[in-house]
Each structure stands twice: as structure tokens, then as C-alpha cells.
């Protein structure tokens, strides 16, 4: 399409001598004008960027909305009275204005352009359908094993334990949920839904929730980090926030709490162990489907969530109760009928999952900081979105607040995943970025930078009431910095900063913790004798 647009604009300027020509496609669903422009990245490589404008703005928008020419230098492409694009010619060369003859040429050109654009759009839809078919075949091959009915029955009929029956430390922010067995993670999810009151409030059938959870676990791939245990860790952290921080409970509606917990469980479904940039550069089927939306993997995670929810036996929202606490962001509604609530839930889950893209988080972080400074308004749609996005990001960073011995083990899995991608990129003849290159990545520098720029700022905002959680992340940063100083004492050990095994070295770990203890630094651990959740 981009090549066709460029060709049309080039020929239009030749046919009707003009200094500028722009072509805008019409997105009827969103009522927006869409323009694709060519830009260059940091490596001076060209890429397409999609720009969108409301159809009500400017002269071009008026033409798109009405289908009528507003001036002599505008013309529309119409197929059976349906506007599909608007072409704009600016600044006639050699004369002050466009002539009636120019208008006739523009009308003639528009007919051929309309046919070309229509055929191109049809071809694009065909390509997308083929990609979806290819992706569906791939997913069917990956998920061929059917969920055992006895597993569904076991999860549906066994008594649901209280959270502390699964582990005395379950209610602590410093507890590592990865210690639970796979079967216990399923039961723990049921326990969290019950303890938060979500099953009763939304009339969620236990059998459907059981099959939903088993389907989610099965949909996660066996990659080093972004697997089911990561999703469960994130959901557990979300549960603790909703359970233990009164301010958050007051600021979120019942639906907000449900959406946040479900999104945490679903946020990395079918993760491939690679990044968005890898998907785009490798031109994978996922990138072909979702690259125009920006967050390739996050869009795929939500699409897979919808696939599971569309299975009748997994649709946990099938029996939505009309008696839920009113939606503050939809306060104008007098009646929350099931269809409205269902659509709202899906929209919110989508927004929360897309918020896990760190690029998206960095874009909205100034707004989050401003909201934290000026105060949260629960009747403000944007504030609710920002709060849920911030909470989702904080939950996604749960490993950063675990005891350092556990936190660095999770970090080792992250770098294992990173380096696998880097090896794949090298095999494809590409040069991976430093963080993905096992020969160049300074692991400790990368950890310190990640904590300073991403993790600590958001954890500081979320856990102002529970300072030990934020301080635990600060302690982990201290340990990484201490490890770095320890290794840099001699040339023989300096090189270990580039070796992933440094994160699992028990000798180095012992030395770091001894230094921390001698300096009075505190490593937070759960004490079962204390009633504090922290």
C-alpha cells in the first residue's frame, strides 16, 4: 500500500503540476484519516510510520466525512458513493490557482486511483487471512494435547485451600510463588479469586474458572522466563496489592480489580522468548499481523486471551452479575447490563495487557508521575487507565522485590532468554543489541540500569504505603552494585560480569551478603511469627 500511495502522489504531481501531494486512506471503523509516511531510524534505515487524524479535522477531514469537494485542489476517490481515500494537491506550479481542466484531470485520476486502492486493500486482507491461517495452524500444532478431564474435575471438586494453607509465607510480598508445584499454582489461583470475592461477585462458575486456568497454563510456552510461572508470580503480586493496600482497593472498582488480576494471568500468553523488535526485524507472522499497532507480542497475548475466552467452557465472564459496584469510569451509565459490562471488561483487559510493553510504559510514565503528584480522581477515565497500567507494570516487576537470592535467579532466566535470541540473530546474520549478546552484555551494568530507569521509579510510586517493598528492591540494587565492585578488584574476576553464571555463583553470593550484613543493609524475609503481610 505504501508503494502504491507513493506512486499515486508522484504521478498526480506530474499530471497536475503541484508542489505537494498527500493521500489519506479512510478508516471507517475509527472514523480516522490514515497516512503512511516514510521515516528513518537511528541506523538511517527507512521504515513506515502510520499517522492518524480525526476525520472531523481540517478541509481534508470535511471532504472525507461529506464526500464533497471543498476546494478545487481536493478530490476524493469514491466507489459506489463510498469514500475510501482523499487526495490533496497543494500549490499549483507556475500559476496561482487550479483550473477547471485540472479538476477534470483530478476526477479522471480519482477513478483509476479508487480501483487501484480497492484492489490493494483486498489483496492486503487476503494476505492477512493467509497469515492468520498460518498462525492458527502453528498454534494448533503447539496445543494439540487436550486438557485432561480428570485435571478439570480435580480442580473443580477439591476443597479450595486458604492462601496460607498453600504456604505460611503466601501473603508476603517477599514470598517466591515459583516454589509451588504446578498443581498448587492452579489451586492458588482459585484461592486468590475466592479470597478477593471475585467468584461470588461476578458469579464465576468454578468449573469454567478451572478450565480457564488450565488452558492458560497450557498456552504458555516452555521458555526460560516468560512462562506460566512468570504469569503466576505476576498474578500473585497483583493479589497481594489488591489485598493489602487499602488505597488501591478504594481507587479501583470491582470490575477494575477483576480485569487487573485476569490480565496479569494472561499478559504473556504464547510468548516466544523474543522481543517485539526481533519479531518486526524478522518479519514473522506475528509482526505481519500486529506491527501496525506497535506492540506486536502484547497484541498477540490479548488475541490469545480472547481465543480462550471464546471457548464456552472457558468463558469465566458468561454469568456477569448486574449487582457489581458501579463503574466509576462509566459513571454516566444508570444500568450496567451484562453486554456493557462484558465489553468494558474486554476493553480494560486489552488496555492493561498492552501496558506491559515497556515502550508504552515509558510513553505514559510522565502522566503517571503527574497523577501521583496532583492526586488520583476515580471519576477520571484517564486516571483509572494510568493507575491500572502502573499497577500492571509494578506486578510485572515482582521479581525485583523478592529476596536477592531469588531475584537474581529470575534475572538469570531473563538473560538466558535474551542470549538465546541473540544467538538466533547471529545465526540469521544480524547483529544483536548489547543486552542480547552473550559476548558483550555486562550483566551487572544492565541490571543496575534497569533498576534505576524502570523498576525503582514505579515501585516507589506504588509502594509509598509499604516502604519495605520498595526498600527490598533498593537492597537488591545494593547487592548488584556490591557484586560489581567485588568482581572489579582483579582482572581475573572482572570478566565474570559478562558471564551469566555470575548470577548463580554461590561463592560470590555469600561474599555479597556478608558485605551487606557488615554494612547494616537489610534483606527482607518473611517471618511466619509476625502478622504483618509485609
pLDDT score, position 82: 65
Task: Report the percentage of the chain scoring pLDDT > 70.
Answer: 83
Q: Which residues contact 50 (CB under 8 A, 6 or more apart)?
A: 34, 35, 36, 292
Q: Is 301 annotated as a binding residue?
A: no
Q: Is 396 annotated as a binding residue?
A: yes
Q: Which CATH architecture best describes the domain 1-137? A: 2-Layer Sandwich (3.30)
In the residue annotation, 271 being an active-site residue is answered as no
The answer to which of 17-26, 183-192, 370-379 has the lowest mean pLDDT is 17-26
- List pLDDT tens digits, range 277-301: 999 998 888 888 887 667 899 999 9
Q: What is the mean pLDDT of residues 30-49?
A: 65
The total of other beta-carbon atoms located within 10 Å of residue 74's CB is: 21
Q: Is 75 annotated as a binding residue?
A: no
pTM over 0.95: no
Task: Tell me the DSSP string of 260-316.
Answer: HHHHHHHTTTT--SS-HHHHHHTT-HHHHHHGGGS-HHHHHHHHHHHHHHTSGGG-T
Residue with cell 544480524: 430
Asked whether the predicted pLDDT for residue 523 surpasses 70, the reply is no
pLDDT score, position 62: 58
Q: Is 268 annotated as a binding residue?
A: yes
Q: Which residues contact 132 (CB under 8 A, 6 or more apart)?
A: 289
Q: Are 210 and 152 in contact (CB under 8 A)?
A: yes
Q: What is the mean pLDDT of residues 144-164?
A: 88
Q: Which helix (H) or strand (E) holds 51?
A: strand 46-54
Q: Rounded to whole angstroms, what are the CA distances from 321 to 206, 311, 339? A: 15, 20, 11
Instruction: Give the pLDDT band of residue 466 (cuts 50, 70, 90).
Output: confident
Highest-confidence segment of 193-197, 464-468, 527-531 = 193-197
- List pLDDT tens digits, range 236-255: 999 999 999 999 989 999 99
Cα distance between residue 130 and residue 427, in whole Å: 27
For the chain, domain boundaries: 1-137, 147-356, 403-533
Catalytic residue among 77, 119, 134, 226: 226
Cα distance between residue 62 and residue 64, in whole Å: 5
Asked whether the predicted pLDDT for residue 334 surpasses 50, the reply is no
Residue with cell 502510520: 50
pLDDT score, position 244: 93
Task: Report the percentage of the chain scoring pLDDT > 90.
Answer: 55
The answer to which of 187-191, 289-293, 440-444, 517-521 has the lowest mean pLDDT is 289-293
Q: What is the mean pLDDT of residues 511-524?
A: 81
Instruction: Give the pLDDT band of residue 54 (cuts 50, 70, 90).
Output: confident
The grid cell for 337 is 447490563
Asked whether the predicted pLDDT for residue 331 surpasses 60, the reply is no
Q: Are 317 and 345 in contact (CB under 8 A)?
A: yes
Q: Is 26 helix (H, G, I), strand (E, B) or coil?
A: strand
Angle made by CA atoms 232, 237, 243, in degrees to the nearest 5: 125
Q: Is 328 annotated as a binding residue?
A: no
The total of other beta-carbon atoms located within 10 Å of residue 207's CB is: 14
pLDDT score, position 438: 95
Candidates 3.40.1160.10, 3.90.1150.10, 1.10.1300.10, 3.40.50.720; CATH matching 147-356 = 1.10.1300.10
Amino acid at each position: 500500500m505504501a508503494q502504491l500511495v507513493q506512486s499515486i502522489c508522484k504521478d498526480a504531481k506530474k499530471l497536475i503540476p503541484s508542489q505537494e501531494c498527500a493521500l489519506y486512506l479512510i478508516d471507517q471503523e475509527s472514523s480516522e484519516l490514515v497516512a503512511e509516511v516514510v521515516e528513518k531510524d537511528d541506523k538511517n534505515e527507512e521504515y513506515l510510520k502510520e499517522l492518524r487524524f480525526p476525520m472531523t479535522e481540517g478541509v481534508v477531514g470535511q471532504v472525507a466525512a461529506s464526500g464533497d469537494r471543498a476546494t478545487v485542489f481536493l478530490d476524493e476517490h469514491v466507489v459506489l458513493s463510498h469514500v475510501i481515500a482523499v487526495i490533496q494537491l497543494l500549490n499549483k506550479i507556475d500559476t496561482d490557482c487550479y483550473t477547471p481542466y485540472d479538476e477534470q484531470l483530478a476526477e479522471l485520476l480519482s477513478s483509476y486511483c479508487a480501483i487501484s486502492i480497492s484492489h490493494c486493500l483486498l489483496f492486503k486482507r487476503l494476505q492477512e487471512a493467509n497469515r492468520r491461517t498460518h498462525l492458527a495452524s502453528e498454534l494448533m500444532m503447539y496445543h494439540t494435547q487436550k486438557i485432561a478431564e480428570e485435571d478439570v474435575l480435580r480442580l473443580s471438586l477439591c476443597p479450595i485451600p486458604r492462601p496460607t494453607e498453600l504456604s505460611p509465607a503466601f501473603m508476603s510480598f517477599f514470598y517466591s510463588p515459583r516454589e509451588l508445584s504446578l498443581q498448587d499454582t492452579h489451586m492458588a489461583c482459585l484461592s486468590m479469586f475466592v479470597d478477593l470475592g471475585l467468584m461470588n461477585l461476578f458469579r464465576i462458575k468454578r468449573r469454567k474458572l478451572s478450565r480457564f486456568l488450565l488452558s492458560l497454563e497450557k498456552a504458555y510456552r516452555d521458555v526460560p522466563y516468560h512462562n506460566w510461572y512468570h504469569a503466576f508470580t505476576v498474578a500473585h503480586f497483583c493479589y497481594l496489592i489488591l489485598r493489602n493496600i487499602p488505597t488501591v482497593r478504594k481507587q479501583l472498582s470491582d470490575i477494575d480489580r477483576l480485569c487487573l488480576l485476569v490480565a496479569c494471568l494472561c499478559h504473556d500468553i504464547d510468548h516466544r522468548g523474543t522481543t517485539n523488535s526481533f519479531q518486526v526485524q524478522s518479519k514473522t507472522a506475528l509482526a505481519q499481523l500486529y506491527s501496525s499497532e506497535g506492540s506486536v507480542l502484547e497484541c498477540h497475548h490479548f488475541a490469545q486471551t480472547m481465543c480462550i475466552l471464546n471457548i464456552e467452557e472457558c468463558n469465566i465472564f458468561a454469568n456477569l452479575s448486574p449487582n457489581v459496584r458501579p463503574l466509576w469510569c462509566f459513571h454516566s451509565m444508570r444500568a450496567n447490563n451484562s453486554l456493557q459490562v462484558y465489553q468494558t471488561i474486554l476493553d480494560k483487559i486489552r488496555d492493561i495487557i498492552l501496558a506491559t510493553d515497556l515502550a508504552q510504559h515509558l510513553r505514559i510514565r510522565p502522566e503517571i508521575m503527574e497523577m501521583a503528584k496532583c492526586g488520583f480522581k476515580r471519576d477520571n477515565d484517564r486516571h483509572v487507565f494510568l493507575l491500572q497500567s502502573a499497577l500492571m507494570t509494578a506486578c510485572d516487576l515482582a521479581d525485583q522485590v523478592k529476596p536477592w537470592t531469588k531475584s537474581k535467579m529470575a534475572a538469570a532466566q531473563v538473560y538466558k532468554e535474551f542470549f538465546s535470541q541473540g544467538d538466533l540473530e547471529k545465526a540469521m546474520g544480524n547483529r544483536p543489541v548489547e543486552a542480547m549478546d552473550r559476548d558483550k552484555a555486562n550483566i551487572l551494568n544492565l541490571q543496575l540500569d534497569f533498576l534505576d530507569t524502570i523498576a525503582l521509579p514505579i515501585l516507589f510510586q506504588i509502594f509509598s504505603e509499604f516502604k519495605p517493598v520498595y526498600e527490598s528492591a533498593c537492597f537488591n540494587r545494593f547487592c548488584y552494585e556490591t557484586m560489581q565492585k567485588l568482581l572489579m578488584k582483579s582482572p581475573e574476576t572482572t570478566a565474570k560480569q559478562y558471564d551469566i553464571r555470575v548470577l548463580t555463583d554461590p561463592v560470590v553470593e555469600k561474599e555479597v551478603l556478608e558485605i551487606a550484613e557488615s554494612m547494616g543493609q537489610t534483606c527482607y524475609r518473611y517471618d511466619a511469627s509476625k502478622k504483618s503481610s509485609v
